Every structure is written in structure tokens, then in C-alpha cells.
Amino acid sequence: MKFLDEAKIYVKAGDGGAGCISFRREKFVEFGGPDGGDGGRGGHIIVEAHDNLNTLIDFRYHQHFKAERGHHGKGAHRTGADGKDIIIKVPVGTQIFYEDKDSLLADFTTPGQRMILCQGGMGGRGNAQFKSSTNQAPRRADTGVPGKELWIWLRLKLIADAGLIGLPNAGKSTFLAATTRAKPKIADYPFTTLAPQLGVVHIDNHEFVLADIPGLIEGAHEGVGLGTRFLGHIERCHVLLHLIDGTQEDIVKAYQIIREELVCYGAELEKKTEIVALNKCDALSAEEIKKKISALQKVCEHQVIPISAVTGFRVTECLRALYGTISS
């Protein structure tokens, strides 16, 4: 299934049904009078979060949602039926913005959460509602109120407990594949991963969701590479696992590039708890590992965990550190 995390759609609630102008006329009934019924309410546009969805791809092919209008009123004081509501199902983690893409309208963070996005129009009053002592035979009825309509943006921010960050080819996809049942594409060139990948980690009879976030390079906050498109997915993570390719020459610069992008993006990403791991240690000697960990600890002020996602070296220790942070 193709991943899509942003979509623009048009929604319109149903218009209210019109009221009826009718008079009671029956044989052998001495007194008649107005008996026009009211119109029915237009259908609502309702948005509901579902945990079995993980992409907005459906909205690429279905972008217009219009609820049914209310039925018109009828004689004999019969009120028109309400229009049918439309329920739009979105993944958990979806945010709804107005057309300007800046004003947040709703944020769906729990399964089953729902809201009425557009209210259906109220039905018009029939002529029976206008009867009075001075107007015994009103010939007036209201039309229904138009339903609300909007152009909105849907933006998906994946809900994961931990997020994988690092420069391209740091081994994020390999780590995800080694620790979960996810099967991301793995290759020896940058930007192999073009969309976020999720996997469930099982460790010591516990589990948590791990997300691989692609596209972080120098200048990403300015639109370089894949830009800021996927940085929003780590806003909801409790902890970040920063993977650094131990085989590159300047590992300190690699660490600082990612940290600078988190600061420039905003949303207080730089304040999230971070665990730093030096990956691909299977290709390094013990002396090289010690030297590079010492250099990293001077700039990150955290304990650096040497790991190898390929061989599994100290991966379990890294996962336990992640879960310890999530559960605390």
C-alpha cells in the first residue's frame, strides 16, 4: 500500500429540507387549518479515527464528500426525514487543518475518537408553525438552512513510541528490519527509504512501536532532499534513537547535522529524550570503536551505545534503553 500523509478534500453537510404549505381538508370535518410539516435536518459530515488505517491514500481518489440533504416536510404534520450522515474514516494521528494549512481544526490521537466536522442544515418550518390567532391560514413556509461546506487539509503524523533518526545510510532500515517484522527496502545508496516505516518491537515481554523516519540531511528544514515532509512524524515520539554510521570519517559532524535540523525545524524536537548509537561496529576494530565513542560523547553528553544491526551486537541493550525511557 502506498504511503500518503497529506491530502486536501472538500466536505459539505446536507442542506435542510424545506417546510411544507398544506391545509387539512377532510369531508365531514368542520374545522380545517394549516398542517404543513417541517423539513428534515441535513446530514452531518463526521470524522472518525480508526487504528487499522495507516495512510491517507484513499483520499487521493475520493476528494469530495457531500452528505444527503434533509427531506421536505409533508401535509398532515409530517416532518421530513433527516439526511444520512457521512462518516469519514481517518488513521489515528490525523490532524485536520483549514484551507490555509495553518489553523488546526482537530487532532485525532485515540482510536474511536470522532467529531462532527460540518453540521447539517436545519430543516425549514412548515406553515403549521406560523398559525396564530390573527393568522389562521398562513401561506408561509421556510426553506431549509444550507449545510456547512469546507475545503480542508488532512495531515497524518504517525503515532510511534520511538523514532529512528540519522543521516541516509546510517542503518536505520536495517535496524528496523532486525528488531521488528517490518520489511523496509534496504540498499547501499542514500534515500532508499522514501516513506516512514513502522514496526512493533518485542523486548522482555513488552512491546513498543518503532518508526523509521527518512529524509534527514543537511538543509532538510529548508526543503533540501525530502525536506520537512516527514519530520512531523517524530513529533509524537517519546524518545529518539539517533543512529550514526561508524564507518564514516567525521562522525561528530554527522551527529551535529541531525541535531541542527531538529533545532531548525522547531516543535521542540531537540528537547526530546535521545539515545545515541554508533552503528556498523562490526566493520570497526575495538580501538576504532573506543576512539569514536569518546569523540561522540564530548559533543552529545550522552552515553553512546556501540551496536551492529547486522550482527545483533548490543541491539538488545539498545532496545531495553528505549523501552526504559518510554515506560518511565
Binding site feature residues: 166-173, 191-195, 212-215, 279-282, 308-310
Pairing assessment for the beta strands 64-66 and 6-12 based on DSSP bridges: parallel
Q: CB atoms < 10 A from the CB of 134, how many?
A: 5
Amino acid at 17: G
**Per-residue three-class SS string for 148-216:** CEEEEEEEECCCCCEEEECCCCCCHHHHHHHHCCCCCCCCCCCCCCCCCEEEEEEECCEEEEEEECCCC
28-to-34, 183, 217 alpha-carbon distances in Å: 17, 81, 88
CB 252 within 8 A of CB 295: yes
Residues 6+ apart with CB under 8 A from 29: none
- Spatial distance between the Cα atoms of 208 and 319, rounded to a whole number of angstroms: 10
Q: What is the grid cell recorded at 19?
A: 417546510
Q: Which residues are annotated as a binding site for Mg(2+)?
A: 173, 193
Q: How far apart are CA 226 and CA 243, in angstroms?
A: 19
β-partners of residue 279 are 245
Annotated binding residues for GTP, written as ranges, equal 166-173, 191-195, 212-215, 279-282, 308-310
CB contact at 8 A, 225 and 215? yes
